[in-house]
Amino acid sequence: MATIFPFFEWCEKTALFRLISNHESFFPALETIHLFGLVLLLGTTVILCLRLLGVIMAKQPVSELAGELANYTASGLALMLSSGALMFVATAVRNYSNTSFWVKMIFLAAALIFHFAYFRKVIRMEDLGTSRWRGKLAAWGALILWFGVALSGRSIGFLG
């Protein structure tokens, strides 16, 4: 049976791995950038979800609010994914056997698919009078998946 472990080993043989691991403050800086990106992404997502659930800004059109937050959301996602990729390179072999890492990757894949395939569509359609259950499903789905990414990511350093 084929395995992807050789890819994980290869990551730790790259110049990028040496750069990150040879500088004491590089990895903590990446973690800080990663968390900042996550905060931007989660913050804007929570605002949109609370709006979809009718908890806040009931008179503000969802699509207008999403437009105002779009650059922050995209920046958070870009920061999170790019810093996360660099952090992965620096810890690839260790992560291979870490259950929390794999749970995070599953949540991340599901969150990205949900975000681009459903959440964004509902936000665009919500002002056009689509059913409230679609908005609620989009909100709860996004909250569960993105917080799943955050919580499982947090556990990587503590659980194996």
Q: What is the pLDDT of residues 13-26, one digit of tens each?
A: 999 999 998 888 99
Q: What is the mean pLDDT of residues 25-37?
A: 95
Band (pLDDT 50/70/90 cuts) for residue 160 is low
Which structure tokens are listed for 10?
């290869």
Global confidence as pTM: 0.90
Q: What is the pLDDT of residues 39-75, one digit of tens each?
A: 999 999 999 999 999 899 988 989 899 999 999 999 9
User: DSSP labels for the chain?
Assistant: ---SHHHHHHHTTSHHHHHHHHSTTHHHHHHHHHHHHHHHHHHHHHHHHHHHTTSS-TTS-HHHHHHHHHHHHHHHHHHHHHHHHHHHHHHHHHHHT-HHHHHHHHHHHHHHHHIIIIIHHHHHHHTTT--HHHHHHHHHHHHHHHHHHHHHHHGGGT--
Residues 6+ apart with CB under 8 A from 43: 72, 76
137 vs 124: which has the higher pLDDT: 137
Q: What is the pLDDT of residues 78-126, one digit of tens each?
A: 999 999 999 999 999 999 999 999 999 999 999 999 999 999 999 888 6
